[in-house]
Amino acid sequence: MYPKEFRYSKEHEWIAVDGDVATVGITDFAQSELGDIVYVEGPASGRRVGAGEVLGTVESVKAVSEIYAPVGGEVVAVNAALTDAPQTLNTDPHKEGWICRIRMAAPHEVDDLLDADAYEKLILS
Q: How far is the C-alpha of 102 from the C-alpha of 109, rounded, in Å?
A: 12
Quick check: 102 and 73 in contact, CB under 8 A? yes
Question: What's the pLDDT score for residue 61?
Answer: 94
Question: What's the pLDDT score for residue 1?
Answer: 79
What pTM value is reported for the model?
0.96
Quick one: pLDDT band at residue 97, thresholds 50, 70, 90?
Answer: very high
Q: How far is the C-alpha of 43 from the C-alpha of 99, rounded, in Å?
A: 9
Q: How far is the C-alpha of 109 from the C-alpha of 60, rounded, in Å?
A: 30
Main-chain phi, psi angles of 73, to 5 degrees: 155, -155
The rounded percent of the chain whose pLDDT value lies above 70 is: 100
Which tens digits make up the pLDDT trace of 47-96? 999 999 999 999 999 999 999 999 999 999 999 999 999 999 999 999 99
Which tens digits make up the pLDDT trace of 33-52? 999 999 999 999 999 999 99
Angle at 3 between CA 108 and CA 83, to 5 degrees: 90
Q: State the average pLDDT over residues 1-24.
A: 97
**Beta bridge partner(s), residue 104:** 73
Q: Nearest CA to 106 among 71, 74, 77?
A: 71
Residue 12 clears pLDDT 90, i.e. is over it = yes
Quick check: 97 and 16 in contact, CB under 8 A? no
Q: How far is the C-alpha of 58 from the C-alpha of 56, rounded, in Å?
A: 7
CATH architecture of 7-124: Beta Barrel (2.40)
What is the residue extent of each domain of the chain?
A: 7-124
